[in-house]
Amino acid sequence: MSLLKTSLIGLKADSFRHPLDLEATKTLKQIPGLDMMVRNLLGPMAEQIFYVENIASSILVGEKQLPDLHNLLLEACQILDIDAPQLYVRQHPAPNAYTFAMRGKQPFIVIHTSLIEILTPEEIQAVIAHELGHLKCDHSVYLTPVNLLILAAAIVPNVGAVLAQAIQSQLLAWVRCAEFSCDRAALLATQNPKVVMSVLMKLAGGSPTLSSQLNLDAFIDQARAYDDISKTELGEMVKSARTAELSHPVPVLRAREIDRWASSQDYQKLLQNHGINDKNETVSPGGWRNW
């Protein structure tokens, strides 16, 4: 069975942005001098460093280089109604993917080989779409310099350490909230919540050896059970302490959020209102048809 996915013509970031992302971004913008430091001081240097590093040590995906990955990128961009960034594949043992962009500059996405090795093509597209979500939501304005800013502040004598400590919690809180919006972008591109949740499952405990043995239904049950921890004050405190210093929400929480949103009327209405297939026909709220 093949699925004809919906191209979301005219899709706006705010139509799928997670409420926590909106709130955290508003808070982040209130940090004095952050935007100026990012754009005028860190941005130009960081852009040059990252660009040279990718050209020297990664593979640029294109029509003649890893064309299957290139096609996954182009399809996801068409569905999310966004211009295609550059896509690089980098040899690295830690499964990861990330995005870099400054306003007015060529954005790019990097995917580590170890992540590709444990994912199916659909799941790889979900990862690409997640990174496209950062670009669609304009997260990259703050996302890319977050680690650079903390690093730079930490190595500046006296003031640096104080600044890093003061802003780190706010920056990490924002990044965690932004991830929820990008998981929604991954769902919109794949239009199959099980694909997105499968990626999260494999990030939690996947390997080339174990991936084929993992049970998605069991992981979804695990994600739904995560809410039970919050039924006691102690449980909620433990959850908060566990995530306070993380740059990403824990995988089961992200899976639970996708499970909820995929079942919501907001998601169905978004597909119905924006969805056009390749024959310019409005598609069903489910977002796909059998061929």
User: Which residues are annotated as catalytic?
Assistant: 131
Query: Which residue type occupies 102?
Result: M
CA distance 270 to 248: 26
Distances (CA, A) of 258 to 100, 165, 172, 186: 24, 32, 21, 10
| Largest pairwise CA distance in the chain | 64
**CA–CA gap between residue 134 and residue 143 (Å, rounded):** 8
HSE, side-chain direction, 13 A CA sphere, residue 19: 3
Residue among 134, 173, 171 nearest 153 (CA): 171
- Half-sphere CA count of 142, side-chain side, radius 13 A: 27
Only one residue has tokens 């295609």, namely 84
How far is Cα 172 from Cα 174, in angstroms, rounded to an integer? 5
